Structure 1
Amino acid sequence: MGTPRRSTRLAAQRTTTSEAPPAAAPARWERCRPRMFRHSENQKLVTNYVALHQVVLVDAGPGSGKSSQIPRLLHAAGHGRVVCSQTYRLAAVLAATRAAADMRVQLGREVGYSVPLDDRSSDADTVVKYTTHGVLLRELAADPLLSRYGAVVVDDAHDGMALTGVVLSCVKAAAARRPDLRVVVCLDNSTRCKGKVHGFFSRSGMDVGELWFRTYCGLIDYEYLPEPVTDYLGAAVDTVCRIHSTEPPGDVLVFLPGCTDVEAAEHSLNRRALPGLVTCCLHDGLPMHRINDALRPAANGKRKVVLATDVADCAVFVEGIKYIVDSGYCGTDNAPVHLISGGGAASSPARLVRALKAAVQKWFYIRRKVNESPKTWPTGTFFCLYTREERKGFPYAWEPANKMADVNALAGVILTLKTLGIIGARSDDDVASFEFFEPPHPEAIQWAVRTLKAAGALSQDGDVTETGRRIAREISGRYY
């Protein structure tokens, strides 16, 4: 079964990931710069919109380069220090590496990142900083106005994570008190989510602008199962083997709900020893050399299979994918279900949620060049490990309401906010009055607080206990 996307066993590996991949030659990076940002017109469009509006929503597909390019454009436009908040540690590290190469500066100086257990930034020199949401929240707790920064970029706001909504709430509070603070919210072609974000900021009287960049897609064939399956892991492995033996050349991306599933599938495929098949893993707990293996093109005559969690759905773009295998499951939110309900025990399995991948379903990984005619568009196949009828009942993975309805996920967020001092330590009324991006039901808040008290994380008066502080440290270090 699936596990939380950052497991205890993988957390120890992070001490070995501080060395980012070496920066490539600037000339090559210039040639490889995302097409959307090669033209000065598009660069001026972004900076002009940010100059005109306090809040700008940027709607662009995966692989468009918005994560690595927009923060450096804001700094170049004179907005001072820029911080870009990411859902995943991996996304922050890769975007910072790319931005440093594009700006032709040393990673860790002018461009840096700060993620759990790894900080390559300088308080004196860093002008473009990438963080995870949890790291930015800790900065917000110490400086609610974010006075060190002139612009804030919240990336992957469509992912539906509870913590992403909390970051949007805190950034909105800072922007309401600082009219000079510019806020850029990046989304991934999620129309319903974009409407919610627009309304969330505009309700407070902020001037909100929207930018949409077209993402070019290939032609997609969907293949559904005739009957439901219960062993999604075995079905995924069998589907990969079938693709390798019957389909034309092309790399494969397999979505699985958790890190353990990814490694189990890799072990199963390696044990079958199919000639010409190269397997790679991609999740947020891997060291950089293994992540580079997943992102690097396969050797001539080889077919690459990337076994990934949903980090590949909204945080990292894998080039060259022609086939996608979707288990139909995603792991629970990055809130620690087992830590809260178990009072710190790290052995409970995560629950699985059937959900559609918003980015993959709408835009796919197969893209064409801008000047190609429709007759030359590449085609690809989306292998669904569920029936067409089952798909109709799936919620989208980014729906915030689904995540905030999870009492354990909400409990983890409340404990983090109370420990940081963003929500009052004593009064439960402060929780109800906090302006969540997607307000949870009042009964869900009550149950979450009761869960924390039952686990010993909060006293009966609402104070964070020593047990609560220990759990909060584990949450921040492992999940946020």
Structure 2
Amino acid sequence: MSTASSCTEPDIHPNSEQCPGEDSFGFGDDLELNQFDGLPFSSRYYKLLNERKILPVWKVKCQFEDALAKNQLIIVSGTARTGTSTQIPQWCAEFCLSAQYQHGMVVCTQTNKQQAVDLALRVADEMDVNIGHEVGYTIPLETCCCPDTVLRYLTDDMLLREMMSDPFLEHYGVVVIDQAHERTVSTDILLGLLKHIPLQRPELRVVVLTVPPMTEKLLRHYGSIPLISLEAPSPIEVVHSSSSNKDCFYSALRMVLEIHRTKESGDIAVFFASAKEVQSAYSILQSESSRMGKELDRMEPVVLCPSQRGPVPVQTKPSGHPKSRSVFLSTEKGEDVWWTLESVNFVIDTGVQLKMVYNPRVRAYSQVLQPISRCQADLRKRLSGPTGKCFRLYPEANLRLAETSPQILESNIAPTVLFLKRMEIAGLGQCQFMDRPDPEGLMQALEELDYLAALDDDGDLSEIGIIMSEIPLDPQMAKALLASCEFDCVSEMLTIAAMVSAPSCFLEPSAEMTHKAVQCHRKFQHPEGDHFTLINIYNAFKQSQRKECKTSDLTAERWCQDYFLDHSALKTAEAIRSELTDTLNRIELPISEPSFGTKTNTINLKRALMAGFFMQIARDVDGSGNYFILTHKHMAQVHPLSGYGAPSHKLGLPEWVVFNEYTLSENNCIKTVTKISPQVFIQMAPLYFFYNLPPSESKDILQDMLDPEGSSNCTDKAPPNSDDTGGCTAVTTYDRCVIQ
């Protein structure tokens, strides 16, 4: 393989259009051999090649390859379905091949893990190579590649994880950032860091793929760099509503039925505000479809929500019934996962989205209903294809924002700050965000890391902080897992971390099955609280897997159905636990033998939990389940799915609890709740955190326990569950965990 030019597509057909220098690879008589594996091309390769040449991006192939040869940073701007996500990475692979991979391979990021897999499969097919060899993918908990992989698709968060050990991305010659317009936290961090990394690596190439509304912002961010704009496709017919419709949910459903009754061909895509609306729409359309006359084709609602979980089956492709129309139902998270569905001819857009926005003052997420951006509206419109129609159930004036709102302005950025502190140690300068995080959110993140002992006196990462950054968990859970090494309860804490990191394992049953589901879930309830209940569920799930090996009558999946548990969520938890175990082994932290159920293990597990979650403590102020959160003085109820939650709880309500999550929503609830004693809190929480708590009656109670003069009377003040600490003397004699 010789080094060569910027335009590398082999001249397969004598009459095909050829770029300058296209014959300079030096393959000679072997032009029909695949330059990536040296094997003859299959007939399918030529068929797919003809399809590729029709794509809009193919018109700029020579322009792109010339720019790639001469520039380190390039922006390619085009609308949906132009072929950028499949063709640009292939041309980058040919560029790296021309240099005999001296500077590394190609990596292409995606914001959605399913799309990373689908793109890798499609591109491997187009390149006529084997998936997992020359082309591969890496997504959370799954890797399909090998040392010979020359083009890899992966999620943006996985590339950040790789940068922990390869901060300057020296393994790669070209980095392709796809879907920059999605503005995920990980993509924004990459865009910020990749402004400086090329200065350290002159041979590195960075290609950013986006849509037109985002182009100007990227040019302002990177400065004077080449921009390759694809030709705008033919205009799509768009029909706007004349006025804002507050009841757009039912308007969308009426529009679906109207279109179906016209008997016009083509599938329908409908965008709703939330997954809950998608579930409701699925049920309603199923019911309506069963009542339709024989003169109409069958109508099949299909859920297409990447984050959707529950009783509605999640599908990504229509069933293929010969006389049926698929109605795809999705949310704001679904725009870029439709690229394989070419049957859609109608798009119905409600124009709103229900987003979770983080409030740093109360350390909680709240649901906010927002209008979508012009960028999102355009992506949805393009799904209908050149001959389709888009029905927008809102006036055009509602599209005020051109770009999608950056997630970094709406998220808890403590994990981001921890990562960036780690990158500073690796020698990278400060990340130049296109939109800087909110100062209040940044201060809260730094304060949280300081409380967790992740920062030293200079504000740099401490030794504990460096270890925490190695663990793929939120900082609080990472600290709790580290503390469990000190308290010999690692096995149990690994299970807790995996279960709270995975989607909820509880299925929400239909109304008529609610009582039965509650009875099933009660069998796993642990008197100490939800964290212990999760261990019970996981252990029972593993036991069902062992039974599966012995008998064909009972499978783990059937067992989950019988107990109203989500099998896929538990499998995800199993994979997360395995990954965390590998991480602890890699960084040589001890993993204790399981001893779940013993009194010592219960006490130590609560201490480890409190080492990470002391900022999330609440007290029942009136004995009726009204919990006062000490850090910000808000009141909350326990989530109904909790062992303590109404109406299913058989456990007595504890006075003091630690919780995993607080959500500002209609229910204003705390989730995954476990009872603790205030003595454990006093032992594990840093004193400067305690003194920074706002004044309250609950803080006064804790202050009395800290008062040495009152220690002799602590048995009178301690709550009923104070035996968790082994007696009141533990308050003054227990040695604080050295992890802190």
TM-score with structure 1 length normalisation? 0.74
Q: State the partner residue of 1:398.
A: 404
Whichever residue aligns with residue 125 of structure 2, its letter is A
Query: Do residues 271 (structure 1) and 287 (structure 2) align?
Result: yes
Q: State the partner residue of 1:20.
A: none
C-alpha distance in 1, partners of 2:358/2:112?
15
Q: Aligned runs of 1:253-402 on 2, under 5 Å? A: 253-273=269-289, 274=292, 275-285=297-307, 291-294=315-318, 299-317=321-339, 318-332=341-355, 341=363, 350-361=367-378, 364-368=382-386, 378-384=387-393, 386-387=394-395, 391-392=398-399, 394-396=400-402, 398-400=404-406
Q: State the partner residue of 1:470.
A: 477
**Unaligned runs of at least 5 residues, structure 2:** 1-41, 480-496, 504-571, 573-740
Q: State the partner residue of 1:245.
A: 261
Whichever residue aligns with residue 422 of structure 1, its letter is M
Q: What's the RMSD between the two structures over aligned residues?
A: 3.8
CA spacing shift, 1:300–1:86, aligned 2, 3 Å: same
C-alpha distance in 2, partners of 1:104/1:125?
15
Q: State the partner residue of 1:138.
A: 161
Whichever residue aligns with residue 74 of structure 2, its letter is V
CA spacing shift, 1:30–1:150, aligned 2, 3 Å: same
Q: State the partner residue of 1:11.
A: none
C-alpha distance in 2, partners of 1:447/1:469?
13
CA spacing shift, 1:399–1:120, aligned 2, 3 Å: same
Q: Among 133, 144, 147, which residue is 1:120 paired with?
A: 144
SS in 1 for 2:138: strand
2:113·2:155 contact (CA, 8 Å) conserved in 1?
Answer: yes
Query: Do residues 434 (structure 1) and 400 (structure 2) align?
Result: no
Q: State the partner residue of 1:155.
A: 178
Whichever residue aligns with residue 302 of structure 1, its letter is S
2:303·2:329 contact (CA, 8 Å) conserved in 1?
Answer: yes
Shift of 1:121: 1.2
Query: Do residues 60 (structure 1) and 78 (structure 2) align?
Result: yes
**Matched residue count:** 415
Q: State the partner residue of 1:199.
A: 220
Q: Among 17, 29, 35, which residue is 2:48 paired with?
A: 29
Shift of 1:238: 3.2
C-alpha distance in 2, partners of 1:25/1:337?
53
Shift of 1:158: 1.4
CA spacing shift, 1:449–1:244, aligned 2, 3 Å: farther
C-alpha distance in 1, partners of 2:183/2:256?
29
Shift of 1:64: 1.2
C-alpha distance in 2, partners of 1:266/1:114?
32
SS in 2 for 1:435: coil
C-alpha distance in 2, partners of 1:319/1:414?
41
Query: Do residues 446 (structure 1) and 462 (structure 2) align?
Result: no
Q: State the partner residue of 2:122.
A: 98
2:179·2:209 contact (CA, 8 Å) conserved in 1?
Answer: yes
* 1:246-285 Cα shifts (integer Å, max 9, x gaps): 4733321112344444344223321222552122222335
Q: State the partner residue of 1:71.
A: 89
SS in 2 for 1:35: coil
CA spacing shift, 1:45–1:28, aligned 2, 3 Å: same
Which structure has more relative contact order (CA 8 Å, sep 6+)? It is 1
C-alpha distance in 2, partners of 1:234/1:410?
37
Whichever residue aligns with residue 138 of structure 2, its letter is S
Shift of 1:441: 4.0
SS in 2 for 1:71: helix
Shift of 1:217: 2.9
CA spacing shift, 1:165–1:352, aligned 2, 3 Å: same
Shift of 1:76: 1.1
Shift of 1:213: 1.0
Whichever residue aligns with residue 103 of structure 1, its letter is M
C-alpha distance in 2, partners of 1:24/1:134?
37
Q: Which has the larger radius of gyration?
A: 2
Whichever residue aligns with residue 96 of structure 1, its letter is A
2:108·2:154 contact (CA, 8 Å) conserved in 1?
Answer: yes
Query: Do residues 224 (structure 1) and 241 (structure 2) align?
Result: yes
**Unaligned runs of at least 5 residues, structure 1:** 1-22, 343-347, 369-377
CA spacing shift, 1:311–1:149, aligned 2, 3 Å: same
Q: Aligned runs of 1:1-40 on 2, under 5 Å? A: 25-33=44-52, 35-36=54-55
2:57·2:84 contact (CA, 8 Å) conserved in 1?
Answer: no
C-alpha distance in 2, partners of 1:104/1:291?
28
C-alpha distance in 2, partners of 1:350/1:459?
32
Shift of 1:60: 1.4
Shift of 1:327: 2.4
Shift of 1:61: 1.4
Shift of 1:30: 3.1
* 1:327-364 Cα shifts (integer Å, max 9, x gaps): 2223537x9889x935xxxxx77444322251543762
